[in-house]
């Protein structure tokens, strides 16, 4: 669906897992869609690229979303997951109210996972979702 929605996005994907992840597919898809939309929105129109990589370690499923977008200043890492926070740049002057990443963090943690960010200005951003393999009784 991403290739249809964003035909100009160069998408590289790989899945290296042996087990199934137990998660709410609707919620997980919402997190994925938000991260994909952000990668597209915050990339230069001439260099839209996203790598999605799903791997399994001994204890976790690790899902990486890595773009070549405008990047996020490290000073903003603690704020980007807060509700209504918006990074100031030329790409988000319309349509964003600052809920997407807060939603991603909340949903990921609700499903027992965590979300991490790495970013470099003018190089790109990576969001890593980590979900435990063992199902926890809630």
Average pLDDT over residues 30-57: 94
pLDDT at 100 over 60: yes
Per-residue three-class SS string for the chain: CHHHHCCCCEEEEEEECCCCCCCCHHHHHHHHHHHHHHHHHCCCCCCCEEEEEEEECCCEEEEEEEECCCCCCHHHCCCCCCCCCCCCCCCCCCCCCCCHHHHHHHHHHHCCCEEEEEEECCCEEEEEEEEECCCCCC
pLDDT for 96: 59
């Amino acid at each position: 669906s991403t290739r249809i929605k964003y035909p100009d996005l160069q998408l590289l994907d790989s899945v290296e897992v042996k087990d199934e992840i137990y998660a709410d597919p609707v919620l997980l898809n919402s997190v994925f869609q938000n991260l994909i939309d952000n990668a597209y929105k915050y990339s230069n129109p001439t260099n839209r690229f996203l790598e999605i990589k799903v791997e399994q370690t001994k204890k976790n499923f690790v899902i990486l979303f890595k773009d070549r977008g405008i990047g996020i200043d490290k000073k903003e890492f603690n704020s980007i997951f807060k509700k209504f926070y918006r990074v100031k740049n030329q790409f988000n002057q319309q349509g964003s109210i600052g809920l997407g990443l807060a939603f991603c963090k909340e949903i990921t943690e609700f499903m027992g996972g965590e979300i991490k960010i790495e970013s470099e200005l003018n190089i790109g951003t990576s969001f890593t979702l980590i979900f435990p393999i063992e199902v926890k009784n809630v």
